[in-house]
Amino acid sequence: MDSVDLEVLKNSARWLDEGHRVLLVTVVKTWGSSPRPEGAMLAVRDDGHVVGSVSGGCIEDDLIDRVRQRGIEQTLPEAVKYGITAEEAHRFGLPCGGTIQLVLEPLTLSSGIAELCEAVEAGRLVARSLDMATGAVRMEPAQATDGVVFDEATLLTIHGPRYRMLVIGAGQLSRYLCNIAVGLDYQVTVCDPREEYTDEWDVPGTRVVRTMPDDTVMEMKLDERCAVIALTHDPKLDDLALMEALKTPAFYVGALGSRRNNAARRERLKEFDLSELELARLHGPVGIYIGSRTPPEIAVSILAEVTAAKNGVSLPELLKVEGAKAAREVEGASGVVCGV
């Protein structure tokens, strides 16, 4: 599964190769409420076909109609705004009078989209600079902390995985989780020294290593844009990763398991000189409570919690697996039936 941005870029490159004209639309600034963040992209082909999105659909409809009526006439980039007035906000479906500024860039083979796709698929982080006056493009390595910058003269966008994820274990659940994580634009590393699992691993866009988990954590030099998820159920592997990961700035560290196993895991980890503050960072049982039972459902549950942590959202205890199951037990004991 490609990330949303990579899907837009790959289709744009393919359409150009097929001889189509393509308009690349990028959200560069937002005011008030907006359905898509800065950096979101949409590609419009000369016959009105599209991939990606920059709003809930209304702005896309206007851009498609514009291309179908007039074609892609422009030869240089231009900046446009939608939703400046209350009437426009209502017309284009922008919530709460929000305003979106877009850059419309007519692509050519010299726009470097094919080269950009290759770099992103190789896991590299790339800064693409667009000169609004000439349409000239420059690309160079980027830093993970870089973001979209637009000053009317130049548009700077960052492409490639800005977040990293380390998954311990190459089992069935990991396959579903990693497929979704790649789509969420993570650079995914799967660590499992067990050859019987890694020999069959075939999830596109992921890297597999067979080193021991603690060595892998230290080698990756995890920072605040990293997540670590232990999924093997084997303390000999999961605990090795967790004891090192909890000492790093990683924004999320979690482990699969029951409440009983999670309590036992925390006791074991105390033996590795982890502080109470470091142990408190452990998410476990991992995921939010949605009644998940199958591997795909559990993967969704886990990545929902990871996404909340990445976005700085604090989840109430009743949404977490441990809190929700405890509440259900209390309800069952009291004879009260209430869905969580």
With contact defined as beta carbons under 8 Å apart, do 1 and 180 qualify? yes
pLDDT at 101: 93
Q: What distance in Å separates the CA atoms of residue 106 and residue 214, rounded to the nearest whole number?
A: 48
pLDDT at 315: 86
State whether 11 and 114 are in the same domain: yes
Indicate whether 24 belongs to any domain: yes
pTM for the model? 0.73
- Residue 92 tokens read as 């284009």
State whether 152 and 224 are in the same domain: no
State whether 292 and 170 are in the same domain: yes
**Predicted confidence pLDDT, tens digits, the chain (340 residues):** 567 788 999 999 999 999 999 999 999 998 766 667 889 999 999 999 999 998 867 788 889 999 999 989 899 999 999 875 566 556 655 555 578 899 999 999 999 999 999 998 887 889 999 999 999 999 999 887 677 999 999 999 999 888 999 999 999 999 999 999 998 989 999 999 999 999 989 999 899 999 999 999 999 999 998 999 999 989 999 999 999 999 999 999 999 988 899 899 999 998 888 889 999 999 989 999 988 989 999 999 999 999 999 999 988 877 777 767 766 666 665 554 433 3
pLDDT at 336: 45
pLDDT, tens digit, 9 for 90 and up, residues 115-153: 999 998 887 889 999 999 999 999 999 887 677 999 999
State whether 149 and 136 are in the same domain: yes
Indicate whether 337 belongs to any domain: no
Indicate whether 223 belongs to any domain: yes
State whether 30 and 43 are in the same domain: yes
Q: Please calculate the CA angle 101-104-105 and round it to the nearest 5 degrees.
A: 140
State whether 187 and 275 are in the same domain: yes
Q: What distance in Å separates the CA atoms of residue 277 and residue 246, rounded to the nearest whole number?
A: 9
Find, among 7, 12, 3, 4, the residue nearest to 137 by Cα: 12
Q: Indicate the residue among 159, 179, 211 that finishes a domain.
A: 159
Q: Which helix (H) or strand (E) holds 188?
A: strand 186-191
State whether 170 and 54 are in the same domain: no
pLDDT at 247: 95
R_g of the chain, CA atoms, integer Å: 23
pLDDT at 91: 62
State whether 150 and 173 are in the same domain: no
Find, among 310, 293, 309, 289, the residue nearest to 301 by Cα: 289
With contact defined as beta carbons under 8 Å apart, do 289 and 319 qualify? yes
Q: Indicate the residue among 123, 140, 159 that finishes a domain.
A: 159
DSSP letters, 68-102, are HHH-S--SS-EEEEE--SHHHHHHTT-GGG-EEEE
Indicate whether 276 belongs to any domain: yes
CATH number at residue 252: 3.40.50.720
Cβ contacts of 195 within 8 Å, gap of 6 or more = 210
Q: Which residue has the tokens 């482990």?
A: 255
Beta strand ranges found along 231-318 (DSSP E):
252-255, 282-283
Indicate whether 178 belongs to any domain: yes
State whether 147 and 253 are in the same domain: no
What is the count of structural domains for the chain?
Answer: 2
pLDDT at 48: 93
Residue 240 belongs to what domain range? 163-325
Indicate whether 330 belongs to any domain: no
State whether 203 and 152 are in the same domain: no
Q: Which helix (H) or strand (E) holds 339?
A: none
Q: Indicate the residue among 97, 125, 159 that finishes a domain.
A: 159
State whether 232 and 130 are in the same domain: no
Indicate whether 263 belongs to any domain: yes
pLDDT at 116: 95
Indicate whether 176 belongs to any domain: yes
